[in-house]
Amino acid sequence: MEKKTLEEVVSFCKRRGFIFQSSDIYGGFAAIYDYGHYGTLLKNNIRDAWWKSMVQERDDVYALDSAIFMHPKTWEASGHLAGFDDPQVDCKKCKQRMRADHILEEFGIEADKAPMEFINEKIDELKKEGKVKCVNCGSTDLTEAKRFSLMVKSNIGSPVDVLSEENVVYLRPETCGGIYLEYKNMMNSVHPKLPFGIAQIGKAFRNEIVARQFIFRTREFEQMEMQYFLHPDQMKEKYDFWHELRWSWYLEYGIPEEKMNWHKHDVMAHYATEAYDIEFNFDSLGGFKEVEGIHARGDWDLSQHSKHSGVDLSYTDDQTKEKFIPHIMETSVGLNRLVLMFIDNGYTKENVDGEERLVLKIDKRLSPIKVAIFPLMKNKPEIMEQAKKIHESLKRKWMCEFDTSGSIGKRYRRQDEIGTPYCVTVDFDSLSDKSVTVRDRDTMKQERVKIEDLESYLSEKLSL
Ligand SMILES: [Zn+2]
């Protein structure tokens, strides 16, 4: 099958109500996106699948929903104020801003967390060869690389016109900060024994320079993070365990193993001891890109917050009486990236009897709509009544859709595009044989099912 382009995926997402550019009627707002009807349903289903695996099915992970705003000292302690920035290059002609490390990576030069001297040296070499151009206007007249903070500022609690260092607060750049700050309250309320994890899903914000990556990299995004607290002696075993578990989650939800890759970080944050990313091979983004990070962070986070807050965040082992600051390993995934991954992987064009069929092949548990109900003809009251009755009953259990417009073939195609696994058609025979036709998205096979057995039939098929 030919590869899908980013343009194709973006246009599909808009046309079928998955994802819209934010503030479309005002000409759009860069690197911010809104989720429409099907996009919201898909995103929520992916979120719930992660939550089920990470919290519901575990005995050692607890739930948290911490606020976006935190005490400004949080970011001083975490090092974000001093060093959370990206090297950036500006076009002198059109003012377009670009990530210097990404420019280098395009030429096969690994520049993640590289020092500025290295970045500028390499950029200069490429400039001399005339290889570095503005992505917008093509000019070669570029500034040298400089660091820009990724932190998004606000004036909450100090409503003044000018933001100075004294009154500024930050929108969190990642969700894990809230987990560290609530570590003590969680310990004192849930009383977990090490090792244990705290998971949360929420929005984070970064002032990133973004060049045409759709929802892969955005300034407002949703993270799903789990911070696992442990004794350093347990790190190896637990790291390997989560490494394995997270990989298998992707396989369980239908991502082919050959489209996944482990990327080992050669350069790590100074506190990290082991860091791998799970990458997915995006057609629409032209190759492997990170979707999830699994990182061993040492005791750096709790030590820093302990030091800056003056609050003891150490743990005392009941049995050995050993007192220590717990070490942390995290699994951190971008929910929006997973939405794009499942669409990129599922978006399939097939040839059916000489006609093109566009079908979103995603795991049934993630499908926005589970069942669509079609009355064969809308001007036959008995058929309409029977179909409505079925719809009323099934929608109490699943997201359903009722569609009366156009031929059955057209209605199938509309549901195929949004990944609906089952379509139920009520026809003339239904009135006498009390059965309906159920059609499967992937095989396109049709089966006659008794109306009284329909719910249990679908329950089994959808295996929720
Ligand atoms: Zn330019």
What does the pLDDT read at residue 21?
95
Question: pLDDT by residue (tens digit) across 277-308?
Answer: 999 999 999 999 999 999 999 999 999 999 99
130 Cα to the center of ligand 1, angstroms: 15
90 Cα to the center of ligand 1, angstroms: 8
386-423: b (≥16 Cβ within 10 Å) or e? bbeebbeebeeebbbbbbeeeebeebbbbbbbbbbbbb
141 Cα to the center of ligand 1, angstroms: 8
Confidence of residue 464 (pLDDT cuts 50, 70, 90): low
103 Cα to the center of ligand 1, angstroms: 14
For residue 52, give both structure tokens. 């089920």
Strands 85-90 and 146-149: antiparallel
Average pLDDT in the 375-390 region?
96
Asked if the model's pLDDT at residue 209 lies above 90, the reply is no
What does the pLDDT read at residue 156?
84
Q: For the chain, how many residues are written?
A: 464
Contact present, 393 and 455 (Cβ < 8 Å): yes
Give the bridge partners for 458, in sequence order. none
93 Cα to the center of ligand 1, angstroms: 5
Q: How far apart, in Å, do the first and last CA atoms of the chain sit? A: 31
Domains contained in the chain, CATH given: 53-76+159-343 (3.30.930.10), 85-149 (no CATH), 369-462 (3.40.50.800)
What does the pLDDT read at residue 168?
87
214 Cα to the center of ligand 1, angstroms: 20
96 Cα to the center of ligand 1, angstroms: 5
> CA 422 to CA 438: how far, in whole Å?
7
Q: What average pLDDT does the chain have?
A: 93
Confidence of residue 406 (pLDDT cuts 50, 70, 90): very high
Which residues surround the ion ligand 1 when the cut-off is CB under 5 Å?
91, 93-94, 96, 134, 136-137, 139
Asked if the model's pLDDT at residue 164 lies above 90, the reply is no
145 Cα to the center of ligand 1, angstroms: 15
What does the pLDDT read at residue 259?
98
> CA 339 to CA 243: how far, in whole Å?
21
10 Å CB burial of residue 355 (0-12, 13-18, 19+) is exposed
100 Cα to the center of ligand 1, angstroms: 14
10 Å CB burial of residue 303 (0-12, 13-18, 19+) is middle
Asked if the model's pLDDT at residue 40 lies above 80, the reply is yes
Average pLDDT in the 2-29 region?
94
140 Cα to the center of ligand 1, angstroms: 8
Three-state SS annotation for 246-289: HHHHHHHCCCCHHHEEEEECCCCCCCCCEEEEEEEEECCCCEEE
Question: pLDDT by residue (tens digit) across 322-373?
Answer: 999 999 999 999 999 999 999 999 999 999 989 999 999 999 999 999 999 9
- Measured from the Cβ of residue 81, the count of other Cβ atoms closer than 10 Å reads 18
Asked if the model's pLDDT at residue 211 lies above 70, the reply is no
Residues 6+ apart with CB under 8 A from 264: 275, 276
> CA 341 to CA 9: how far, in whole Å?
11
* CA 250-256-260 angle, 5° bins: 70
Asked if the model's pLDDT at residue 210 lies above 80, the reply is no
Contact present, 330 and 222 (Cβ < 8 Å): no
149 Cα to the center of ligand 1, angstroms: 22
Q: What is the pTM of this model?
A: 0.92
Confidence of residue 247 (pLDDT cuts 50, 70, 90): very high
Asked if the model's pLDDT at residue 276 lies above 70, the reply is yes
Q: List % helix, strand, coil for the chain (3-state, nearest 5).
A: 35, 25, 35
Q: What is the CA radius of gyration of the chain?
A: 26
Asked if the model's pLDDT at residue 310 lies above 80, the reply is yes
Share of the chain above pLDDT 90, in %: 76
Asked if the model's pLDDT at residue 428 lies above 60, the reply is yes
75 Cα to the center of ligand 1, angstroms: 34
134 Cα to the center of ligand 1, angstroms: 5
92 Cα to the center of ligand 1, angstroms: 7
127 Cα to the center of ligand 1, angstroms: 14
